[in-house]
Every structure is written in C-alpha cells, then in structure tokens.
Amino acid sequence: MKELQATITDLGHDGKGVARIDGKAVFVSGALLGEEVTLRIRKRHRHYDEAEVAELLSRSPHRVEPRCRHFGQCGGCSLQHLDAAAQIEMKQRVLKDNFERIGKVEPAAWLPPLTDQPWGYRRKGRLSVRAVAKKGRVLVGFREESNPRFVADISQCEVVHPALGPKIGLLAELVGGMDASSEIPQIEFAAGDDTVALVFRHMSPLSERDRAVLLAFGQQHGFAIYLQPGGVSSVHPLWPEHPRLAFRIPSGDAAVQDVELAFRPLDFVQVNAGMNQRMMARAMELLDPQPGDRVLDLFCGLGNFTLPIARRVAEVVGVEGEHGLVERAAENAARNGIANARFEVANLFEDQRQAHWARLPWDKLLLDPPRAGADKLLEYLPRKETQRMVYVSCHPGSLARDAGILVQKHGFRLSAAGVMDMFPHTAHVESIALFER
C-alpha cells in the first residue's frame, strides 16, 4: 500500500498520533505529537483513516524505548514509547478537554496527579487463549494491537503482577500440553496480597490427566488454580481446597484500624493495588469524613470505599447492583468488626427514588460508577441535605457530563479534580473530583 508523509499534530484520546491528510483525520499507531513520519494506511473509514508508522523521520523529545519486547504487537499497552511525565500530561489534557467540551465546567483547583509503580501493577485481568494450527502451538496473551481478533504471541508481560508476568510463555506451554488445549478460551488472573489465582475456563470436562497437570503447575509456581466449566457461578478451586484471596487497605492513621477485603477471583477489584491505596487516601482527604457523618456510597462493590469510610463516621450505606458483591461486602464488614455499615442491592441504572436509602438525608456521597457514569442516578440524587460529594471516574466523558448536571441542576461547585494513573502505559484516564454546595 502507498506510503504517505505527514506531521503528527495531536494525540488522540486512545494515545494514537493524529495527522491530517487532504483534510481527513488519520490516527497513527506508534506516532507521537510533533513527529514527522512516513505512514502506511491500515484501514479506511468514511470520516477518518487508521494507519501505522512505516518510518520515523523525526523523534519527539518524549519518545522512549519501550520496555516490553512485544510492544506494538500486543494491544495491552499503547503508550510505552511515551515518557511517564508526558503520559500524565496527556491524561490531564483529556480530562480538561472533556470538562470544557462536554460538561461546560472547570474545577476551581487541579489536584496533583496520583501515580505509583508503572510496572508489574496489574493484579486483575483476562488472558486470551488460542490453539493455532499453523504455528503448531497454543498462544496465551492479550489481543493484538492491529487486529483484536488475534491473540498476540507473547512470552511475558511487563505490567502484569510480577509473580505471573514473566510466566505467560509457561502458561502457553502448559495449555499446549493438555488434552483440552483447544477447549480453553481464556485464563483470568487475580492477585491478592499473598495469593495469585488463575481461573481456567474450559468448554468441555477436563480429563483426570489435565486436572493433574494443572494441579502440579499450581503447586510448582505457587498459584491457586480455579476451574470454570460454565458461567461465573461455576468457578471453583482445584487447588488448594480453600484459597485465600484478600488485600489490605491501610488507614494512614495510627488511630484508625486498617481494613482487609476478601474477594473471589472474578469479583471486580481495582486493577492497580498501589494506586488503590493512594486513591483511597485522596478520597478520604476530599470527602473529609467526620464522626457524626452519615455517608452514602454508590456503586460500592466489595466495600472498597465503604468500609474504610465506616471507620471514621457514624453510619455508611453501600449500594451495588451485583448481589454477590453485596454479600461479600457484608461479610467483609463482619470480618473487620465493622457494625455501622450496611449494604443494599439495587440496579443504579434504574429509577431507585422510592428505595428507603434514596429517601434518607445523607451528609456526604461517594460515587464510583462504571464507564456509563451516573446520569440516571443524578435525576433524583443528591438530596438538598448533601453538602459534599466525591466522584471517582473511569471515563472522563461521563464524569464531565455528570459534573455539568451536578453544577447546573443541583447547585454544586466543582471544587477540585485530577487524574489518577490507574493504568500506566495505556490511554485509560481514571480521575477523581470533589463537588461542594
């Protein structure tokens, strides 16, 4: 295909370089702002094209050598070629642009970005598995950057938990030697403070030999092994009989006890353990929980925020749509000796204004919604009694939209906001915002 020369004039929200050729936007994988490149069109669309770098004619001062040997092939990371400071600057710009363009708001103060260790941070994820006849072996990894239908041929991962990241190739060898090598589509991993669990999804019953092979692998490498023959509820341990997955959240205050959360391997937990602790400290700083406060925690999950908040306030209620997570949140409260937290099951994307918890006066609210945000919820909450809200977001567009609702409809002020680098080397933007009456 014909190669074209272009100047990269911007970085897109997905981390790709943006050029314009004959007035049409071209998104260029692997290119950075200010670089001159020769590019090769990979896919054409009506309003934009996708391309890759054929030759780098000039280098950005922020370009660095990717640490991972599979960078560019594996789609797990898109920004390893951009230095850490520039990655953060890009994410801050994305958040600022979304506030201005979508929410028509601007924070009174910008919070300093939160960062932590950029490598080996990922404690939760899903590895695809594919038996490839042409290669005569099994591939285990993330999807390819250029074609998500294919599994990237990788042997290690620099961002996955260090107990597992260097052993991706061993997983491929393991599955390749099993009778059910073509019947295992994915392996999910989850790491607690002391245990790394692997969940093998299998489409047909495993032979005794395969079960023995998996057990031996777990024992040799110290992994807890789970099997998943069907849906989420079918997940069960193979070895050990009762694995213990848990992580601790330090209180940061000698007068306040830490919290430990137990979870199951497919439960939602924050991917980055170090950043979760930093995020918790910032959320507490912004929420400013006081002994007499009554707090509502929405989209509470396992109680990641609820239980640390409970150590500091009179009462906290966590609301979550997934019944299993609510059960385990209540179990975690009991395990930590916390009696002033209770949990409710409710679909927060449906109208809940008649629910008992929604009609009560709350001093403070904390929101941690999924990518869709919380606009449906903001049709009836917060009530007039609520003076302070902390909003944790995994999508800057939905945060910006909801910020506009809170400011224009509910009379709040966007007092502060900032990014949190939950996913280093990716274009994912995690952020936190404080709203006050």
Cα 258 from Cα 30, distance rounded (Å): 43
Question: In angstroms, how far is CA 271 from the centroid of its own chain?
Answer: 5
* Pair of tokens at residue 101: 């363009």
What are the structure tokens assigned to 20, written together? 């314009």
| 424 close to 401: Cβ distance less than 8 angstroms | no
Give the residue numbers annotated as catalytic, written as ranges.
394
- Sort strands 24-29 and 10-11 into parallel, antiparallel or unpaired: unpaired
Distances (CA, A) of 66 to 127, 139, 341: 21, 22, 45
Residue 63 φ then ψ, to 5°: -75, 135
Going 101 to 105 to 108 to 112, the CA torsion angle's sign is negative
Nearest to 432 by CA among 328, 331, 281: 281
Exposed, middle or buried by CB within 10 Å (0-12, 13-18, 19+), for 116?
Answer: middle
Contact 159, 165 (CB under 8 A): yes
Give which of 289, 288, 284 is closest to 314, Cα–Cα: 289
